[in-house]
Amino acid sequence: MSATHVIARAISGACIPMVAFGVTTVPAMAQRYDPFSKLGTLGASDNPLDEDQPESVTGRSRPEYAAVPIQAGSLQIMPQVSVNSEFEDNVYAREDNRISDVNVTIRPRLSISRPSEDFAWSLAGEYEATRFFSLTSENTNDYAFRGGLQYQVGSTTTFQANVLHSRNSEQRSSPDSPTGIVRPNRFKLTEGYADIRHSFNRVSLQATADYQRLTYRDNFNNLGEIVDQSFRDRSVYTGGLIAQYTMSPNFAIFAAGSANKRDYRTRIGPVPARDSTGYELALGANFAVGKLMRGTLRAGYLRQNYKDPAFSDNKGLLLRGELAYYVTPLVTLTAKIDRTASDTGVRQAGGYVKTTATLQADYELKRNLIFHLEAGNENRNYNGVDRTDNRFTGQVKATWLLSPRWSLQAGFSHRGQDSSGVASGRDFSENRVTFGILFKGL
C-alpha cells in the first residue's frame, strides 16, 4: 500500500473535502480531485476493500499535472497557496431580506512528508483568511495543523495515527448556527485518530480509536447580549472494530461495530448537559460487478442513550452505502446514502438522526479539464423537539489543470432548507458562484 493517499470527510455540515495529505486511506471510489480543498478532520476508511480499485475520473493519476515537491534528502516539502473569490446572494441564510456580497479567501499551506513503504510521516499547516467587500463582520481567520504517520509491520499489519488541531468558522447556513448573531460562530477542534489492520488468509481485522474535543466561543446578538455556545463544548471518544471475510476477488462480507461516549462540560443554566453513550452494529458486503461497478453496503442498528432524562434516546436503522459506476474511462457516477445519529446546536434537542443521499457525476472532458456535478438531500429528524429539516444541495464545478504548478476552478452551488414542526427552524435558499486559482509546488 502506498504511503500517500487521499482522504475525504466532513465536519459541522460544511462538507469540507480533503486532498492528498499523507498516510490516511479511503476507498478509491470516494476520492475526489479537488486541489482547492482545505484541511479538516481525521479518519480512515472503514471499507475493507479500499485497495486495487478501478480508476475513477477523480482518482486517476495524472503525472503530467502532478505538483513537484521540493526534495530535501528523504523529505518532500510542498508549498501551496490558493486564492478564491465567491459571490453569495444570501450571506445570512434568511428567508426574507436577502443580503448579497463578494468575498475573497486566501489559503496558504505548507506540508512536509517522508514517504516510505515501511515508515512514513507527514506534517502540514494551513491558514485561511476570508474577507468580505461590504459585510466585514463576516470576515474569518481560520487555521489547521496536522500530522500523521504510518508504520508497516511485515506484510500483514499496518498501524497509522493522525493528530489535528484547528480553528474553524461555522457556516451561517448551518442548522446549528443561531439566527441574529453578529458574526459567524467560531470553534476549535482537537482530534487524535489511530487504527491497526491485520490480515491473514482471507480474513482481515481492523481496530480504530478516535478522540475529538470541540470548544465553541460565545457569540453576541444585535443588542450586545451574549449568545451562549458553550453548551456545545464536548469530548467524543469512539472505538470501532471491523472483521472481513473475502469470499472471492469481487465479493467480501464484513461485520462492523463501534461504541462512543460523548462527554459535555458541566452545565449551569437552562440547557442540561447532553452526555450520552451509544453504539452502532452492522453487517455488510463489498462487491464488484465486473470492472464497471463497485460498491459497499451495510445495514444495522444504531442507538444513542442520553444521561439526562430531558432528552430521549436516539435509535433506529443504520444504513450506509456507496456505489460507483464506471460508465466509461471518462465518466464516473457515484451514489451514496448514510443514516447516523449526530449532536446538534439546537438548544431544545438532544440530537438528531441524519439521513443523507447524494448522486454525483464526474466527467473528464479533456485530460486536464474535469467537470463535477452533484445533487443531494439531507433529512434531519430532531430528538426531543418537534422539528424536521430537509436540506437540498446541488453544485456544478469545473477544474482546469494548466500545469503541474497552476490550476483554475469555477463553480456554482445552490442550497435550500425547508424546516417543519412546532419548533421549526428557518426556511431559506442560497446561491454561490466561485472562481479560484491555485499555485502548488516549485
Supply the DSSP string of 216-257, one letter for each residue: E--EEBTTS-EE--GGG-EEEEEEEEEEEEEEETTEEEEEEE
Domains of the chain: 28-440 (2.40.160)
Helix (H, G, I), strand (E, B) or coil at 370: strand
**Per-residue pLDDT at 99:** 96
Cβ within 8 Å of residue 109, ≥6 positions away: 39, 79, 80, 81, 124, 125, 126, 127
- Count of other CB atoms within 10 angstroms of residue 63: 6
| Region of residue 57 (phi > 0: left; psi between -120 and 50: alpha; otherwise: beta) | alpha
**Per-residue pLDDT at 49:** 43
**Phi, psi (degrees; rounded to nearest 5) at 342:** -135, 160
User: In the predicted model, is pLDDT for residue 15 greater than 50?
Assistant: no
**Per-residue pLDDT at 434:** 97
Which amino acid is present at 359?
Answer: L
User: In the predicted model, is pLDDT for residue 25 greater than 50?
Assistant: no
Mean pLDDT value of segment 319-343: 93
Mean pLDDT value of segment 422-431: 93
Q: What is the pLDDT of residues 259-307, one digit of tens each?
A: 999 999 766 667 788 899 999 999 999 999 888 999 999 999 999 999 9
**Per-residue pLDDT at 4:** 31
Q: What is the DSSP string of 36-85?
A: T-----------TT-SSPPPPTTT---GGGPPPPEEETTEEEEEEEEEEE
Whole-number Å distance between alpha carbons of 55 and 159: 26
Return the bridge partners of 331, or none: 328, 363
**Per-residue pLDDT at 45:** 47
Return the bridge partners of 63, or none: none
Mean pLDDT value of segment 419-430: 93
Rounded alpha-carbon distances, angstroms, from residue 298 to 47, 59, 197, 319, 324 = 10, 23, 20, 6, 15
**Per-residue pLDDT at 347:** 79
Whole-number Å distance between alpha carbons of 162 and 42: 7
Helix (H, G, I), strand (E, B) or coil at 282: strand
Q: Which of 259-273, 323-337, 407-421 has the lowest mean pLDDT?
A: 259-273
Q: What is the pLDDT of residues 58-82, one digit of tens each?
A: 888 888 999 999 999 999 999 999 9
Mean pLDDT value of segment 34-45: 62
| Residue percentage of the chain with pLDDT more than 70 | 87
**Per-residue pLDDT at 412:** 98
User: In the predicted model, is pLDDT for residue 418 greater than 60?
Assistant: yes
Q: How confident is the model at residue 34 (pLDDT cuts 50, 70, 90)?
A: low
**Per-residue pLDDT at 155:** 86
pTM of the model: 0.85
User: In the predicted model, is pLDDT for residue 50 greater than 70?
Assistant: no
- Please give the angle made by the CA atoms of 91, 183 and 189, to the nearest 5 degrees: 105
Mean pLDDT over each residue of the chain, to the nearest integer: 87
Q: What is the pLDDT of residues 148-192, one digit of tens each?
A: 999 999 889 999 999 999 999 999 999 999 888 999 999 999 999
**Per-residue pLDDT at 53:** 55
Chain-centroid distance of CA 61 in Å reads: 22
Q: What is the pLDDT of residues 348-407, one digit of tens each?
A: 788 899 999 999 999 999 999 999 999 999 999 998 889 999 999 999 999 999 999 999
Q: Which span out of 7-21, 50-64, 158-172 was modeled with the highest average pLDDT?
A: 158-172
Cβ within 8 Å of residue 366, ≥6 positions away: none
What's the CA dihedral at 347, 348, 354, 356 to 10 degrees? -70
Mean pLDDT value of segment 122-139: 96
Q: How confident is the model at residue 93 (pLDDT cuts 50, 70, 90)?
A: very high
User: In the predicted model, is pLDDT for residue 436 greater than 60?
Assistant: yes
Contact 439, 427 (CB under 8 A): no
